[in-house]
Amino acid sequence: MGLIRREIHKAEVNRLADRLRAIAHPARLALLRRIAQSSNCICTDLSAELGLAQATVSQHLRVLRDAGIIRGTIERNAVCYSIDQKFMRAFRKDFLKLASVLEKNPCGGRC
């Protein structure tokens, strides 16, 4: 893949692209759905439920955590993950803003 010329794009476009890139993987989407639906989201449990190796789950969790999508809190000897609601509000706002622009297709689908 070629280099991304981030400097030619607005900061909000780069931010949304980074967030979408972090989410845009089937395993990460499955992890996010599972985390959102459970009150007990520990890596080993997620690994068993999704049928993925623990190292794979850990790697995907790291990508999501580094992007600010999830948070981890230490409980005893494990990390319990949750969705960062501040992130979700900002992501929803940015995504809906993009969607409203995309829906205003001036060519009306004729192009």
pLDDT at 65: 93
Q: Distance (Å, rounded) from C-alpha 47 to C-alpha 41?
A: 10
List the chain domain ranges. 11-96
Residue 47: partners with Cβ closer than 8 Å, 6 or more residues away? 53, 54, 56, 57
Assess contact for 34 and 41: CB atoms under 8 A. yes
Write the class of the CATH domain 11-96. mainly alpha
Burial track 67-104 (b if 16+ CB lie within 10 A, e otherwise): bebbbbeeeeeebbbeebeebeeebeebeeeeeeeeee
Distance between CA atoms of residues 24 and 108, nearest Å:
28
Average confidence score pLDDT of the chain: 86
Q: Is the pLDDT of residue 1 over 60?
A: no
29 token code pair? 């989407």
Residue with tokens 């010329």: 5
| Residue in the structure block whose two tokens are 């989201």 | 41
pLDDT at 41: 75
Mean pLDDT of 25-50: 86
pLDDT surpassing 60 at residue 34: yes
C-alpha of 73 from chain center: 18
- Residue 102: its pLDDT value, please? 84
> Tokens 């949304």, residue?
16
pLDDT digits over 66-102, tens only? 999 999 888 788 788 999 999 999 999 999 998 998 8
